[in-house]
Amino acid sequence: AEAYVPVSEMAKVVTEDSALRSGVAVGPDGMVLVASAVDFPGCSAEMLRWWFCEGCRGSEEYVRWHPGDHFSCHWSDGWYRRRDSVVGETHFVSEAFGADRGGKAQTLRIQFKDPKSYGVDLSTLALCARVGVYDPGLGGWVDIAHFIHFAAAEAPDGFQLRSRFWLGDIAIPPDNALRLCAGLLAAVLNTRLARSFAARVVDGRRSLFDLGVATYRHATEEFTVLASFLADAYRRREDASS
Decide: helix, strand or coil at residue 100: helix
What's the pLDDT score for residue 15?
73
pLDDT over threshold 70, residue 157: yes
Decide: helix, strand or coil at residue 121: coil
pLDDT tier for residue 238 given thresholds of 50, 70 and 90: low
Give the residues across from 140 on adjacent strands. 135
Rounded to two decimals, the pTM is: 0.93
| Mean pLDDT along residues 19-47 | 92
Amino acid 3 reads: A
Whole-Å CA distances, 209 to 12, 104, 170, 240: 22, 16, 15, 44
Check: CB of residue 234 under 8 Å from CB of residue 61: no
List the Cα angle 58/105/215 in 5-degree steps. Answer: 90
How many residues in total does the chain contain?
A: 242
pLDDT tier for residue 239 given thresholds of 50, 70 and 90: low
Mean predicted lDDT score pLDDT of the chain: 90
pLDDT in tens, 57-94: 999 999 999 999 999 999 987 666 666 789 999 999 99
What's the pLDDT score for residue 229?
97
What's the pLDDT score for residue 12?
87
CA-to-CA distance for 113 and 177, rounded, in angstroms?
A: 23
Check: CB of residue 9 under 8 Å from CB of residue 166: no
| Mean pLDDT along residues 189-206 | 85
What's the pLDDT score for residue 35?
95
**Residues of the chain with pLDDT > 90: what percent?**
69
pLDDT tier for residue 135 given thresholds of 50, 70 and 90: confident
Distance from chain centroid for Cα 19: 20
39 class by beta-carbon count within 10 Å (0-12 exposed, 13-18 middle, 19+ buried): middle
pLDDT over threshold 60, residue 207: yes
What's the pLDDT score for residue 17?
55
Phi then psi for 31, rounded to 5 degrees? -70, 160
> What is the rounded end-to-end Cα distance, in angstroms, of the chain?
52
- Range with the lowest mean pLDDT among 44-58, 70-84, 180-194, 213-227? 70-84
pLDDT over threshold 60, residue 230: yes
**Edge-to-edge order in the sheet of strand 140-155:** 23-26, 32-41, 158-171, 140-155, 126-135, 106-113, 90-95, 70-75
Phi then psi for 167, rounded to 5 degrees? -105, 135
What's the pLDDT score for residue 101?
87
Q: Which of 196, 194, 170, 166 is nearest to 182 (CA)?
A: 170
What's the pLDDT score for residue 203?
80
What's the pLDDT score for residue 102?
85
| Mean pLDDT along residues 6-30 | 85
